[in-house]
Amino acid sequence: MTTTDTSARPRRWPHAWQEEVRRLAEERDAVVLAHNYMSPEVQDVAHHVGDSLALSRIAAETDARTIVFCGVWFMAETAKILSPAKTVLAPTREAGCSLADSIDADQVRAWKAEHPDAVVVAYVNTSAAVKAEVDYCCTSSNAVEVVDSIPRDRTVLFLPDQFLGAHVRRETGRENLLVWLGECHVHAGITPADVRRQVAAHPEAELLVHPECGCANSALWLSGAGDLPAGRTQVLSTGGMLEAARTMTAPTSLVATEVGMLHQLRQVNPTTTFLPMNPQASCRFMKMTTPELLLATLRGGGDEVHVDADVARRARRAVERMLAIGRPGGGE
């Protein structure tokens, strides 16, 4: 499980607000989970840092009665689906997700009606209501494995990310894989032009590219064309990036994902210089969770997450079907 456990760090913190976060968390019997895209300050004070699915699994396994999920809303929903008896708090309901918002349950039902014999696979970056309408969930690292488990004569509806869907179609060679045209606005904004510019400036760098990125195909094309050695270009989930970084020996790595991920990469490998493929690739929704808002949540604020029992049951089935196929992989 690709998470960073910070619970073993010394109890003396450099800032008073960090001391207060840990004191309040202990007082409330709460565990603080922070996504890889959170600000460094929030990552550093959390009990666990990782991708959304790994953190949701921790939420299900922890003895803590309260989960404070520092991420975006669909992530907190997933934690509630997997740990229904616990109180799950999000610092703000306003922390949405452009990718999750690119499809709703009504649209899923309409798409299924157009293809009644198809198998529906949803990226975990979707709302609970959408998960409840699909056959399987997947993550960015196991999407290919999930789709490969489906008989090749069955049409697959893949949602909602068009770039991850294109990656899965390329890897599986399935022509009967139909892809919803959704996108993460941050990842879509990392363009082929960014890749060309950064590779020209850092010709010896290794590339870590998230499959949600609009530049993923371009990076692979550059690799295949010989403009960048194939061995130095990897398309990986955030969890996969973290594992690759642990053993990386290259002096420089270009990273194509949300800039918050750089903090974790630099933590596990201080000898490699990790640079953003696009320095502007920052998610405003992720950055809504500030140190002040985290403190306010632990003091009795935040938004409690509730998921309808029937929706949760059907959504959990899709997640569990994914987990039954093989390793859970990275969440995003």
What's the pLDDT score for residue 326? 61
Does 87 reside within a domain?
yes
Same-domain pairing of 220 and 145: no
What's the pLDDT score for residue 8? 47
pLDDT reading at 328 higher than 60: no
Does 319 reside within a domain?
yes
Burial tier of 117 (Cβ tally within 10 Å: 0-12, 13-18, 19+): exposed
Helix (H) or strand (E) holding 318: helix 309-325
- Average pLDDT estimate for 285-304: 96
pLDDT confidence band for 227 (50 / 70 / 90): low
- Average pLDDT estimate for 322-327: 74
Same-domain pairing of 20 and 90: yes
Separation between Cα atoms, residue 101 and residue 159, nearest integer Å: 12
Same-domain pairing of 197 and 140: no
For residues 163 and 125, the answer to whether their CB atoms sit within 8 Å is: no
Does 257 reside within a domain?
yes
Separation between Cα atoms, residue 116 and residue 317, nearest integer Å: 20
Residues 6+ positions from 17 with CB-CB distance below 8 Å: 291, 292, 295
pLDDT reading at 189 higher than 50: yes
Same-domain pairing of 104 and 88: no
In total, how many domains does the chain have?
Answer: 3
Instruction: Read off the CATH number of the domain in which 266 is found.
Output: 3.40.50.10800
What's the pLDDT score for residue 221? 66
Does 8 reside within a domain?
yes
Tens of pLDDT along 29-69? 999 999 999 999 999 999 999 988 788 889 889 999 999 99
Percent of the chain with pLDDT over 90: 78
What is the extent of the structural domain holding 112?
Answer: 100-183+311-325
pLDDT reading at 331 higher than 80: no
Tens of pLDDT along 116-133? 999 999 999 999 999 999
Joined together, the tokens standing for residue 96 give 């949405």
Task: Please give the mean pLDDT across all residues of the chain.
Answer: 91
User: Nearest Cα to 91, choosing from 46, 58, 57?
Assistant: 46
Same-domain pairing of 174 and 316: yes
Same-domain pairing of 33 and 51: yes
- Average pLDDT estimate for 271-297: 96
Same-domain pairing of 75 and 109: no
For residues 255 and 241, the answer to whether their CB atoms sit within 8 Å is: yes
Same-domain pairing of 8 and 92: yes
What's the pLDDT score for residue 144? 94
Does 317 reside within a domain?
yes
Same-domain pairing of 205 and 267: yes
pLDDT reading at 229 higher than 90: no
Same-domain pairing of 88 and 132: no
Does 330 reside within a domain?
no
Does 135 reside within a domain?
yes
